[in-house]
Amino acid sequence: MTVETIADFCAGIGGFRLGLEALGLRCVYACENDRDCVATYNANFSADHGPEDILSVVPSRLPDFDILCAGFPCQPFSLAGKKLGLEDERSMVLPKLLKIIAAKKPKVVLLENVENFRAFGGGSLLEATLKALDDEGYVGFSDVLDASRFGVPQQRRRLFIVAFRREAGIQGFRFPTGSALQTPFRPFLAAGDYSIPITSRWQEYIDFFGGKKALHELSFTPPKTRLGIERAHAGIDLGDCIYQMRSSGIRALSLDRPLPTFAVSISGGGAMIPVYSKERRHLNLTEMRRVMGFPDSFQFPVSRTSAIKQLANAVAPPVVKALGEAVMAALAGGDVAPDPRCLPLSA
């Protein structure tokens, strides 16, 4: 069974599309309802889409496609959100995707969400999703992949669901494991780009945490949560590290490890964007592209705030590419030995 075309639902800025087009697949349809995301998507894929709500999509009007991919809204299931789950109106996207799958019957389904989707409701939500796919004639598998194992300098764990039409004859699927080593951030620095400068207060924070200024020498009184480093990697050089400000305090992160998950709460104004202490600046957009596995040439015809939020919500293209390679190998009769962690529902 061969695959040639994809349909990109909940497309965001095209993380799925970038990863799958790198394998020679062709996108025949894309759907995204955020106006700023659509502007970014169009700028990078020479497309002319308008914002479209997936809930209003009529399946019979869609073109045929081999692979359906979707990074459907994660907020209802995220530990960082309100965890409303099925009570959140955004959770209606998943049932709509299942209706589209039932109508269009693509050969392969690729879905992505936060790791907590696997545990939500004691695992009942993931089980129900795989059961719904099984009812439509699919053999489904799931696993959590960490982007830092796939050349992305960020510890980003996301759940992926892969489902094949039953007639493909695939009874086992082995997810890509990536490298045994995580990807450090240091090689991805874009040195000398001061396009997002830090404030004078941040200058003082760097001096304070680095021992160059005492508390009484500061021109302001820090809140209690910022009187010290909340958490620091062992053996870290505070003069050459990444500072990450959080509501609970400030963390010092080693450049020789992957950064933690790039969070949507990061402000385009600069306050919550990580700081590179050696150059006394915020991470720039080039570095933030690299933290998500996007190419330096990727364009953002939107405000910096929107660009950062779009990246934080994106699917990492290198992970998608590796997953796509595993899918195509399975369809070609290659590496299909069952992974004991992810047996099909019907097994």
Query: Active-site residue numbers?
Result: 74
CA separation for the pair 294, 286 (Å, rounded): 9
β-bridge pairing 67-70 and 108-114: parallel
Dist. CA 126–CA 113, nearest whole Å:
11
Pairing of strands 157-165, 108-114: antiparallel
DSSP label of 224: G
E strands in the chain: 5-9, 26-31, 67-70, 108-114, 138-146, 157-165, 229-232, 242-246, 249-253, 275-276, 281-282
CA distances from 105 to 62, 67, 133, 163, 247 (A): 12, 9, 10, 11, 45
What is the rounded CA–CA span in Å between residue 259 and residue 262? 8
Helices (H), ranges, 193-316: 200-209, 285-291, 304-312
Distance in angstroms (rounded) separating the CA atoms of residues 26 and 38: 18
3-state secondary structure at position 306: helix
